[in-house]
Amino acid sequence: MTTLHKPFSKRSSHSRQTLMLHALGFVSGDPTIRIGYPFVFHPGVQVTVSEPGNAKWVYMMLPVPKGSLITEIKVAHHRSGIQSRITHIRLVQQREPVAAEVVHDDSIAENIPSIYVISSSCHVIAEKSVLLKICMEFANTDDMIEFGSIEVQYIPNYEKTTTSDEGETKRKEERPIYTLNKKQTIKNQPTLVDLFFKTKKKRTISNISNT
């Protein structure tokens, strides 16, 4: 899936941060999904199903500050079974409990290794609560997909920074200036001589009107 990216501002590109999460935060309301949380014999989160299917979703809230720009999601996973795999990575924004908006949807290739860190580039500005959704396809109930770390790269205060930069650029464009002999001069700025003759002209016109 091709994702279009807006260019980053010069200031905001230096403030990129990484949020490291554990798959322990995954939940699901699907009764056919079983989530095995870390145990002494396995440090990851194991997902299995009681019924095969191609739309098995798990969810995780991303604690990203409002106004941040999310640029990449990385999911470390391991799968057993040749045909069972992760098919989609989505980001959803939600405020009202009865409505949600899909703001990023990335289809995952079928030929990735069984132990792999999936990377999904995106360009999502967090305006509401952000939910990470991962869709899995299970061909067999004996198969398992195990998750490790979830890495979120983002630029904090991106919306505020770009708005400030755009405002500053607009103010500079609206200020009419030109360069002469390497000196910056305000265009059409009246000199003291111009102001003197302008005032004198007004007085002359006033005297003629009174006459």
DSSP code of 13?
Answer: G
The reported pTM is: 0.71
Contacts of 44 (CB under 8 A, 6+ apart): 23, 38, 78, 146, 147, 148
**Residue 10 confidence (pLDDT):** 44
- In the chain, the domains with their CATH numbers are 12-161 (2.60.120.260)
Mean pLDDT taken over the chain: 83
Is 90 exceeded by the pLDDT of residue 76? yes
What is the predicted pLDDT for the residue at 21?
Answer: 98
In degrees rounded to 5, what are phi and psi of residue 101? -120, 125
Tokens of 23: 């798959």
pLDDT in tens, 149-161: 999 999 999 977 6
CA 36/CA 60 separation, integer angstroms:
15
The pair of structure tokens assigned to 149 is 């770390």
- Report the alpha-carbon distance of residue 142 to residue 83 in Å, rounded: 11
DSSP for 90-150, written as a single string: EEEEESSTT-EEEEEEEEPPTT--SEEEEEEEEEEE-SSEEEEEEEEEES-TT-EEEEEEE
CA atoms within 13 A on the CB side of 70: 30
Across the range 170-183, mean pLDDT stands at 48
Q: How many CB atoms lie within 10 A of CB 175?
A: 9
Encode pLDDT of 103-143 as tens digits: 999 999 999 999 999 999 999 999 999 999 999 999 999 99
